[in-house]
Structure 1
């Protein structure tokens, strides 16, 4: 069995490539976007997205179906990056490393909503108002090329900003998705390897140990207080909202979540890696459960569910103090047999 050795120089090379890729002026000229993507991605690079964008099989499809409609709708769109890290993944539940290099980031797209946004067959009317859209993106590398991308935008939060509530009002605090309190989330330089390794071990203990120990009765059976600071800031997605303490996290998110999905289990993730005090994970089928209780106004469906999710964590003194969370809520509710997009009531219909 070969032993994988982390290559910090390669990781730095990948981070520089993604930083240049994300922040190039080519994004402001629609005619240049496809050429720009092909400078960094393989022709057959896979793109895994949020619902109703689920999977696109080439950079050309990414441009035509996702990027061009987005940039046409928000003609002055700017990407703000709050967290930026790279590393090699260890996302398998059995502890075996998958030895794949990733770069990930999250933040806000900001722009003026000037033209209707075409999302597949759904046309969202522009409101001529400034908008901020939560984003998270993960890029996997082989031979200095991006071969796979996972990307999430928080559509529920976006719809709330333009006045369309397609889920009940969230129990948490709506509309909060800040940069790290420590203002140190963009890791352009190498980080101390010992800190990185400790961060990776902590998250593995939390996900595959603590969370998977839930006895379906008592929240304390997971030992979350051993991992989350009592004043943890949990920045949840649209439909759930933010929780600004461990108590609020348990009451406003974890309790209703586990009533609905009591057998929830963290399985193999698409990526899980650390750099410094930060950790990132993506999983399109990495968390599974049966829907056996009410959730956000929807009765138990009895159906098997998988969660498209992305997380970033920041730890301090061995506990998590901030957690940025994406869940594809449209995909989640769709698996219960309900199309949330049908609840949108635009002039002219869907």
Structure 2
């Protein structure tokens, strides 16, 4: 527990340093708590970067310049051991929104002069008192939609500025009961095992039966902009998981995860990429593409009664579409 607490405190100081920085001081703020060869993963068009100076110049500096009075509004904060490396590495996870006044252009998106909220999920690996590795997932299309520049056809789920857990217990700044974390990771792994062994020939009815084994019926799937959120198993089957399986099953390849962990009633994972798929037509209302495309994904979960009941999902949608030949950011200039 003491290792988790020191790692949590370090990441909170890191976040506070970012909050106090401006575009001129952000590089020094990032360097304060990160290793010199810090490995940072970000969404398209940022991808992988190394070192505080590069991360500041590539992502944080321009973003802070665009968003006046930027603040972080976390809904989940937790730490745990990565079960994928034999419980050797400590990771701290934060999820919520980055909020500011969208006053200057960013990535070709025209500013609205209004509040903009961008969903984020951040995995930080802490070692020897430094952040040595970060996966920073954020929902750029959410900013586009809020600024009135929606690049997508109508989505199957609901577009929302998404709330945190209904129990409001996601901010775990202090120690938690280890038994709760073990129950959560067991629920996550049961769901993953079910996905690997399911009979996909049964269609939507079989999918609903499968989900009921590891999910509560009042599940909420908080998906990314372009797909949206959906509530209850039947609507999730109709509005996301069914279309996903129907249109992305060709060439489906699971590439694995980099980190999978849990603390308390919350847990999750990320991959880089998790999946490689071929869009056979219709997914996100888009035409078919022959190009295999990667899905970099974060899934964060809330466990209740031994099953999963809330799921926050982040997908690098812009990279997924770019690999199919659709450069959404380039189109922003003409909107």
Q: TM class by shorter-chain length?
A: over 0.9
Please name the residue that 1:156 is paired with: 141
Report what 1:203 is aligned to.
188
The residue aligned with 1:274 is 262
Q: Deviations over 1:108-131 (max 9, x none)?
A: 1111111222x3xxx332221111
Summarize deviations over 1:146-183 as a string: whole Å, max 9, x none. 11110111011111111112111111111241011101
Shift of 1:297: 2.8
After TM superposition, give the deviation of residue 98 of structure 1 in Å. Answer: 5.6
* Alpha-carbon contact 1:26-1:32 (below 8 Å) kept: no
Tell me, yes or no, if structure 1 residue 192 matches structure 2 residue 177: yes
Cα offset for 1:214? 3.6
CA drift at 1:266:
4.0
- With over 3 angstroms needed to count, the CA separation of the structure-2 counterparts of 1:42 and 1:110, relative to structure 1, is same
1:320 and 1:149 map into 2 onto residues whose CA distance is 26
C-alpha change, 1:214 and 1:345, in structure 2 (3 Å) is: farther
* Contact 1:234–1:325 (Cα < 8 Å) also in 2: yes
The alignment status of 1:337 with 2:330, answered yes or no, reads no
Q: Give secondary structure in 1 for the equivalent of 2:225.
A: coil
1:212 aligns with 2:196: yes
Q: How does 1:39-78 map to 2 (within 5 A)?
A: 39-78=32-71
- Alignment-derived partner of residue 3 in structure 1: none
**What corresponds to 2:115 in structure 1?**
130
Q: Could you say if the C-alpha distance between residues 211 and 265 of structure 1 is closer, same or farther in structure 2, counting changes exceeding 3 Å?
A: farther
- Residue 269 of structure 1 aligns to a residue in which SS? coil
Q: Count matched residues.
A: 331
Map 1:76-115; keep pairs closer than 5 Å: 76-91=69-84, 97=86, 99-115=88-104
Hey, what does 2:276 align to over in structure 1? 288
| Corresponding residue of 1:35 | 28
Conserved in 1, the CA contact under 8 Å of 2:117 and 2:143? yes
Most deviating of 224-233 and 259-268 = 259-268
Alpha-carbon contact 2:222-2:311 (below 8 Å) kept: yes
Residue of 239, 242, 253 corresponding to 1:255 = 242
Aligned to 2:105: 116
- Following superposition, the deviation at residue 248 of structure 1 comes to 1.2
Q: Deviations over 1:277-307 (max 9, x none)?
A: 1002111212233333431233332333321
The partner residue of 2:223 within 213, 230, 236 is 236
Whether 2:211 is the aligned partner of 1:227: answer: no
**2:162 pairs with 1:169:** no
- For 1:290 and 1:29, how far apart are their aligned partners in 2? 41
SS in 1 for 2:4: helix
Structure 2 partner of 1:5 = none
What root-mean-square deviation, in Å, do the aligned CA atoms of Structure 1 and Structure 2 show? 1.9
Counterparts of 1:31 and 1:230 in 2: how far apart (Å)? 49
Shift of 1:345: 4.1
Structure 2: distance between partners of 1:324 and 1:49: 18
Residue 312 of structure 1 and its aligned partner are, at CA, apart by 0.9
| Counterpart position of 1:142 | 127
In 1, are the aligned partners of 2:257 and 2:270 still within 8 Å (CA)?
A: yes
Q: Which residue of 2 aligns with 1:24?
A: 17
Structure 2: how far apart are the matches of 1:158 and 1:26? Answer: 19
Contact in 2 for aligned 1:211/1:266 (Cα 8 Å): no
Deviation at 1:25, TM superposition (A): 6.7
Residue-by-residue CA offset, 1:175-223 (whole Å, 9 max, x unaligned): 241011101100011111111112112111212x112224333342572
Return the offset for 1:12: 1.3
- Report the alpha carbon displacement of residue 335 of structure 1 after superposing the two structures with TM: 1.8
SS of residue paired to 1:249: helix
